[in-house]
Amino acid sequence: VYGAGEERRLDTYWIDEYEVTIGQYAAFLDALAADPAGASAYEHPDQPDSKTGHTPEGWDEIYGAAKRGGRFRGQRIGLNYPVFSVDWWDAYAYATWKGRRLPTEEEWEKASRGKNGKVFPWGNTFAPEKTNWGADASGDQPGAIDGHAFWAPVDAFPDDRSDFFAFGMA
């Protein structure tokens, strides 16, 4: 089930269980730095000339805090947190480097909603305790719904799992 109930058939495909982590993305950037001449092999053919690299803005600060298990913009962060501040071109290059590809919109939706098109990966009823939904932006303050604001480790919410074992889709 796609969108508002349209049925579509998709070819078989694979999707990662978890979001790409800061640690995984750092390995990608290290590989590009080790072989600058080979970096272009991972870029989309339509990547604009103005896009000259795949290092997110503020990366040194983000990665430094993540390596220490410290804080970035007041929030806890670590290497097992999802990478952020990447654009589509960065995501494409990372996927190509890994020998993979980005999912299509339909593939992503199926991985999230399951074969029956559930509203949420776990079912049709919203359950704030199952996902990092952002309403408790105070995050690590006592009494926060999930103990995280803005971001959380990719495996922090085991109930935010689709029928296809893709986590963090909500």
User: Which distant-in-sequence residues (6+ apart) come within 8 Å of 13 by Cβ?
Assistant: 103, 107
Contact 133, 170 (CB under 8 A): yes
The span from the CA of 118 to the CA of 126, in Å, is 11
pTM of full prediction above 0.85: yes
For residue 117, pLDDT over 90 is answered with: yes
For residue 140, pLDDT over 60 is answered with: no
pLDDT number for residue 143:
46
Structure tokens at 73: 């913009």
Neighbouring C-beta atoms of residue 18, cutoff 10 Å: 15
Q: What is the pLDDT of residues 78-93, one digit of tens each?
A: 999 999 999 999 999 9
For residue 153, pLDDT over 60 is answered with: yes
For residue 136, pLDDT over 80 is answered with: no
Question: In 3D, which of 76, 113, 33 has the Cα closest to residue 42?
Answer: 33
Mean pLDDT, rounded, for 106-117: 94
The span from the CA of 37 to the CA of 39, in Å, is 6
The most distant pair of C-alpha atoms in the chain lies apart, rounded to whole Å, by 50
Q: What is the pLDDT of residues 11-39, one digit of tens each?
A: 999 999 999 999 999 999 999 999 999 99
